[in-house]
Amino acid sequence: DIQMTQSPSSLSASVGDRVTITCQATQDVNNFLNWYQQKPGEAPKLLIYDASNLETGVPSRFSGSGSGTDFTFTISSLQSEDIATYFCQQFDTLPYTFGQGTKLEIK
């Protein structure tokens, strides 16, 4: 199975900060990589697909980049409503696998 490793596991930042999360795969997943946001008590929500494409309706402060084994998720200006856990997920090869998550808190 392809293992996905996110960094950091948790992050504390201030409103307005630029926030970056990385996701590394144990093998090339091409750009078959998605990012999800999960707010406390809610189901995950798809934010970014194919590594860098913004899902319809998602604010433009969210972005993604990367290919191969190394990917980055960025919030350009953190808002209070962005408090959540973020997960990457690869779909290059079954089984689909997720990163362990990055918990984002407001400083």
The secondary structure of 21-46, three-state, reads: EEEEECCCCCCCEEEEEECCCCCCEE
Beta carbons of 63 and 86 less than 8 angstroms apart: no
**Which three-class secondary structure state does DSSP give residue 81?**
helix
Site map (CB under 8 A) of another protein, residues 19-58, x = contact:
-------------x-x-x-x---xxxxx--xx----x---
Interface residues for another protein in 73-102 (CB under 8 A)?
Answer: 87, 89, 91, 94-101
Site residues (vs another protein, CB under 8 A): 1, 32, 34, 36, 38, 42-46, 49-50, 55, 87, 89, 91, 94-101
